[in-house]
Amino acid sequence: MGKILLGISSSIAIYKACELVRELKKTGHEVKVVMTPFSERFISRLTFHTLSGNKAYVDWEDDPLLHINLPRWSDLFLIAPCSINTLSKIAMGIGDNLLTTCALSHKGLLMLAPAGNVEMYKNPVAQEHLQKLKERGVIIVEPEEGKLVCEEEGQGKLASIKRLLDWVEWGLRPKPLKGYRVLITAGATREFIDKVRFISNLSTGLMGLSLARVLRWYGAEVKVIAGYTSVEEPPEVEIHKVVSAQDMYQKVLELFDWAHMVIMNSAVSDYKPASFYEGKLKKQESLTLHLVKNPDILSELGKIKKDKILVGFALEEEERLLQEGLRKLKEKNLDLLVANPLQMMGSEEYRAVLLFKDNTKEELYASSKLLGAELLVKKLLEKLLKLPLQSLPRA
């Protein structure tokens, strides 16, 4: 877990910073807060002291070298909310308070999450300052659009807590996958019988979407093709929504050449109704459905994969897990088959057997699918991409 220095400048959005500190602590991070003097008119330093468990700082009353020592302590410096005033001062190298002086002395990763009136944010001078900061390697977590406190509509809302937390996790990890493109399928497909009824399964999409989050954290460019999902989508990831297995097959083929690695995590329906009823079928004593096979997307990709890395998932009963997993690994020409026992469908925790093309296997256990996704990504780095793990943090 990381040491997060959280900077807070004056904005009505400061109330969201209280929740941000709580969520960072809940995730296991240590947090120290540094505030601008004017921000105390919104919320006192005592509030952040209480929430973080560490003293919140506004000035140099305890340590004349605080502007040096706080940045050196941190793994990541995030200023949220960052007012347009504070953003412009940092861009111009002005250090007139403890927060801006910390920003000038900070040598690590600096993230700014602006918040302000849409006209102020879109002002050409503010945009010039934003561009300067980006060119210097500062990460700008763009504000969101919506109704602002001034009753105007537009871009200026502080990024959501979910996005800020995701950017923190991104910032704390190395980027061995920078420049690497990964295509992931997730969720359940639906095969419609009539306008209201369909054949599907219990997949929530949680594992596939967790993999998308983690792969982005490690630097990959990620695109997701998602069927039906019932969990939150990962921020900052491009998602293409599809419905049926045929829809997914066509979209996978469309994006296949773009990817270096393809991870087929979706729960694709094996069969679809042979015909579709235009309307709603009336209730009958019995109904016989004639089903036909859907394309086996993973098998088709195995035939054209060439030098791409292809990862598949299989859900099997416990007693047939290894036997069926090894068969599918070979028949579908995969580099890795992730074999999940039946109990994992819809479960929060994660358990799998990883079957590699080199005939090795490893068991994977995790208390959550997000943690399981990170452990799996590390195995992909180590076993398939042969990238060093020495600099990777412990999940």
- Catalytic residue IDs: 150
d(CA 299, CA 312): 10
* Amino acid in position 369: K
DSSP-assigned letter for residue 57: B
Q: Smallest Cα–Cα separation from 354: which of 263, 266, 224?
A: 263
- Give CA angle at 50 (49, 51), nearest 5°: 95
DSSP-assigned letter for residue 71: H
Q: Smallest Cα–Cα separation from 356: which of 374, 371, 337, 377?
A: 337
Q: Which residue has the tokens 């054949």?
A: 199
d(CA 2, CA 109): 12
Query: 3-class secondary structure for 314-337?
Result: EEECHHHHHHHHHHHHHHCCCCEE
Buried b / exposed e across 13-30, counting CB within 10 Å, b at 16+? bbebbbebbebbbeeebb
User: Three-state SS for 362?
Assistant: strand
- Give CA angle at 34 (391, 64), nearest 5°: 95
Query: What is the β-pairing status of strands 76-82 and 3-8?
Result: parallel
Q: How far is residue 159 CA from its own chain's centroid?
A: 15
